[in-house]
Amino acid sequence: MNSSIDFSEILTKTISTAKSAGSFIRQESKTFDRNKVEAKGLNDLVSYVDKEAEKIIVEKLKNILPEADFIAEEGTEGQSGKDFTWIIDPLDGTTNFIHGIPVFAVSIGLKYKEDIVLGVVYEINLDECFYASKGNGAFLNGQPIVVSKSETLSESLIVTGFPYSAFGKIDDYLAVLRSLMETCHGLRRMGSAATDLCYVACGRSEGFFEYDLKPYDVAAGVIILAEAGGKVSDFSGGDNYIFGKEILASNSHVHEEMLKEIQKVW
């Protein structure tokens, strides 16, 4: 890692950036008109709020780390081949936002070469800011967080996301859901992958899995979870979970048990 970069200062400024975008989103949610929604694809929605929030974030991040590239949901891109890349979802949980369901977040991750080194997830409705930088632990509104100590699926709450356009594996997914329903003590679907990962990180749930995800859905959350003591993999148990479109995240204790349930059918 580049030792000349002050990641603590970058993290502080990134938190401020996420909260600025979150403040804008919160204000817009009070008067949002669902007629202003656009469709990018099947059930893939976007609004002017997503786009404007991304502009706010990108403008501030360019000042924080001018040499960085961008991967962002609403299309912001920089030059390729740079060591640093910001991975941004300006509004993770757009469908929830559009329908007035209060679970959506700003998600900002920073990648250095092949490693995610920093992450901030600001859950707007509860005013909860989760953040971490590599090797320095994970925090929620200034307080350290750790994963739960539950050791079996039978005492675990599992969160997931439902596919909204990639239905080719729906039968396998439903089989996994059925298996987990019979094994764990509850399943939840929040509607924001970034929030899901942070809820595992702070011990509110023990595991999260989803497929057909994008890098900006998970980049920030995975380092927050890892720094809180959790474990992340793809459905094969490997490490292709940022760009591989599938992720299994856990408190580490139930990871192998969850992986086994998924691999029965996947």
The two structure tokens encoding residue 122: 């600001």
Query: Is 127 assigned a ligand-binding role in the annotation?
Result: no
d(CA 74, CA 93): 14
12: CB partners within 8 A, 6+ apart = none
196 marked as part of a ligand binding site: no
44 in a labelled binding site = no
Task: Check whether 73 is labelled as a binding-site residue.
Answer: yes
Smallest CA-to-CA distance from 25 within 87, 102, 86 is with 102
d(CA 146, CA 166): 33
Neighbouring residues of 46: CB distance < 8 A, sequence distance ≥ 6: 37, 38, 39, 40, 74, 94
Q: Residue 234 and residue 217: Cα distance in Å, rounded? A: 14
What the block records as the tokens of 90 is 């300006």
**Residue whose pair of structure tokens reads 């979970």 in the numeric block:** 241
92 is in an annotated binding site: yes
Calpha distance 235→52 (Å, rounded): 34
User: Exposed/middle/buried for 88, CB within 10 Å: 0-12, 13-18, 19+?
Assistant: buried
Instruction: Please classify residue 156 by burial: count the beta carbons closer than 10 Å to its beta carbon, then call 0-12 exposed, 13-18 middle and 19+ buried.
Output: buried
Longest dimension (CA), the chain: 51
The binding site consists of: 73, 89, 91-92, 217
- Binding positions for Mg(2+) are 73, 89, 91-92, 217
